[in-house]
Structure 1
């Protein structure tokens, strides 16, 4: 069931802005101040909605995304900030030597909002972020735990019943692929959902990677109802009940979103 924001870039951008202003930035500010002049990079910035409230506060931002179409939209939405030099929008891979040469230890804050669950070799990229963080810099992550009801992003399916069916992404890969194809999903959708099956990340795995790489968690929040569901489904955000959020593995199945802030 394709949601309206999947096809309406302006609506998607406005929802990103509101979510960033109402939830992401207040969460970050619980552990570090967001001030004018702060250097911020977002990996997987899309249309730039998450960065917009930071730009409004006077931060100097870099948005990185490999999707040239979404970067083009970000240029349209944020042209004023690009023109005055406050924002750079880049389609380069962050692993490129030139990228590292320009931005080594450059950022006070790095943002990965709904991005880490799409990235292969997550240990590699989280370790690599140390090269881009300034002293005392921190990294924000927001992502849906893999085992939650729609952790496979099956809501992007065109088949309405399939898009609303919880936990189907946990089926064995051959059975999941067969179900998607039998339901008439396009090969592009099937491929995207199977790729996510390879990269989806649980709370336990994320925390283990962070710990093994020597990072410290400075703030975290688990949500029973993801703040973004306010726009997608008209549901009011709700934080996860404290005792549940502390039960390993079980919490993955009933937590629709987690926010983390970490520092080296």
Structure 2
């Protein structure tokens, strides 16, 4: 019997690190970011659409009710939690160009790797929105990020900036910064997005992610005139988070609250 039939998966055995080129590693990571971004946003968009279409009530001004906002927030937060936990070994589980920028600026991700991940994330968001638009009833436009009545463009930019800064800083401290809690980082990251979504869905749509906003606009073939804020705001938030991360690292933050990662978790005040 040919060797290939005796051991059909022989060629898929893990090879020594030196045998895998840097380009191959970047390609594998980019594939993981495409698949991860697609899965994260596909299920989030489906949950978002269902929550809006099946809403039993609306807000006083005709917008989504508080109950609908909670459902929408859960769709994004839990989808990110599960998908990041599944694929973080493949690509790091970023699924967001703003997170990618923050990690590059903070020095926790090589710029070349970031250049590979960025287009994969954008493409994943576009494919997710297009398939949701094709596969379920209801317009994909309901998932588009838009400003609430009375919310100015300037307010929208800075609101998105602060929402994104929390998410990116959570990623940097729980995932990029290795500790005894790193293995459960996806839980904290998913909860961070959930909290940000609750705060922001009504006011700006709570994008925090250019790929999340760009995909539905492409699928719906409709861009609001202020669409640019969903790029500028998240990127500014990523820069703020990366800047503070570098600041606390430069000052050896571990010494300010020593013992937090020890087995006993003891506190030393000296």
| TM-score where L is the length of structure 1 | 0.28
Structure number with bigger Rg: 2
Q: Which structure has more strand as a fraction of its residues?
A: 1
- Larger RCO: Structure 1 or Structure 2 (Cα < 8 Å, ≥ 6 residues apart)? 2
| TM-score where L is the length of structure 2 | 0.28
